[in-house]
Structure 1
Amino acid sequence: MSPPVPTLAQRKRQLVADELTSCALDLLAERGFEAVTVDEIATAAGVSKRTFFRYFASKEDVVVQFLTALGAAMREELARRPASEAPSVALRHAVWRCVEDCAGHEGRARKVVRLILTTPALLARFLERQAQWRDELAVELAGRLGLDAVRELYPRLAADMALSAFHEVLQRWSAAGSRGGTGDGGGAGGGAVDIAVLTDDCFAVIAPALDAVVRTGV
């Protein structure tokens, strides 16, 4: 069944929301979270402060919605992976869906990720979101493997490992851009950071544990 076609009013509302999000993330990434006001975001987007608050409760809420979209994309990708795939492969693809989206918008995304990871208030919200993603991924994994997401250890631990890999990739990738490199250059160890290779390397470390599915329910 095809999704309903959005109305003209819904399309206009989405355009305004997208413009506010774009302006907010650009300003926050460029100048820092505390240095940017809602008034400045609204002015940059060409709308009133009142209009901003119709879409977002605060400037922090803009970033939170960005994170919400990442989590939704990750679960969506895991759900569409073939049932025959090993858990490590399916989870790698799920994480890569988000990593690739970030890498595909290099200029802004690297700065936004760095902003999130280095701003205590935003990092706290990011970790809060990761806890929700863990639960959602655990349910999806349990369904794929015929496990009980509540009683068995594997689904939540596997989701935690995948999200730890995701976090590590983002940390190293965003840090690379803060050291004066371009593209994927300037990694934490002084060498180049290829985000696809880094993602593969992280999952190579955890794959044996991810693929060792053991029933542990009590």
Structure 2
Amino acid sequence: MSSRARRYHRAVTLRPETSLAQRKRQLVATELTEAALQLFALKGFDAATVDEIATRAGVSKRTFFRYFASKEDVVVQFLAGMGADMRASLATRPAGEPLSEALRHVVSVPLAACGDHAERVLPVVRLILRTPSLLARFLEHQAEWREGLAEELGARLGLDPATDLRPRLAASMALAAFDAVLRRWSAGEGPQVGEAPEALIGEAFAVLAPALDGPAGTGP
């Protein structure tokens, strides 16, 4: 595994692997992702093929499809694990914490990780947001995240998301802030950005807090 790929792996893996098999699988996935990102940078997303990605990573096309369903999944997987991380983080927040504070923290953790590794994450975020097929796949992931957060918020608030709008509305507001911050952070063409994601998320939740906490601080 190249030193560049190892740096990539450390930068984007937010949860430790727990077995040798999982570590080996992550290494292959990382090599494929690294090869894909290099090709996309050289040729553009549409021009690069799965065959070229597999060849560059030193594996077969069949191996590629054991890890990813499509070229789009190679890129979007870069951020896909954030949804599970956000739900797990929400489950650990103190029960009496205002909803806006709990959700601000939950969304801040992955965004701070993006900001800490901007040189690797920023080109991928820009590629996702500017490529229609990638953006569509990313929005599918966000819809899954929304359901997971709504279920966790339902448990936290003692509400059933199937019959009460508040858990899903709160989850939607948090993810709208996440999406808005990603777009603002990645705006522009250069390798640098002017504002850190964690600062932007604080600004976003200052706007959302009154609606999330309500007059009694109990949520939307």
Which bracket does the TM-score occupy, shorter chain normalised?
Answer: 0.7 to 0.9
Any conservation in 1 of the 2:86–2:107 contact (CA below 8 Å)? Answer: yes
Residue-by-residue CA offset, 1:98-125 (whole Å, 9 max, x unaligned): 2122222211211111111111111111
> In structure 2, which of residues 19, 24, 36 is the aligned counterpart of residue 6 of structure 1?
19
Amino acid corresponding to residue 196 of structure 1 in structure 2: E
Any conservation in 2 of the 1:32–1:115 contact (CA below 8 Å)? Answer: no
Distance in 2 between residues matched to 1:161 and 1:170, nearest whole Å:
14
Amino acid corresponding to residue 21 of structure 1 in structure 2: T
Deviates more, 1:49-58 or 1:194-203: 49-58
Any conservation in 1 of the 2:99–2:218 contact (CA below 8 Å)? Answer: no
Distance in 2 between residues matched to 1:208 and 1:88, nearest whole Å:
8
Amino acid corresponding to residue 69 of structure 1 in structure 2: G
Amino acid corresponding to residue 171 of structure 2 in structure 1: A
Unaligned runs of 5+ in 1: 186-192
Q: Identify the residue that residue 189 of structure 1 maps to in structure 2.
A: none
1:210–1:30 Cα change, 3 Å? farther
Distance in 2 between residues matched to 1:50 and 1:122, nearest whole Å:
22
Q: 1:1-218 counterparts in 2 under 5 A? A: 6-7=19-20, 9-28=21-40, 31-176=43-188, 178=189, 180=190, 182=192, 184-185=193-194, 193-212=195-214
1:214–1:77 Cα change, 3 Å? closer
Any conservation in 2 of the 1:116–1:122 contact (CA below 8 Å)? Answer: yes
Residue-by-residue CA offset, 1:40-89 (whole Å, 9 max, x unaligned): 22233222323222222221121343342121111111111121211111
Q: CA RMSD in A?
A: 2.3
Number of residue pairs aligned between Structure 1 and Structure 2: 203
TM-score by length of 2: 0.82
Unaligned runs of 5+ in 2: 1-15
SS at the partner of 1:161? Answer: helix
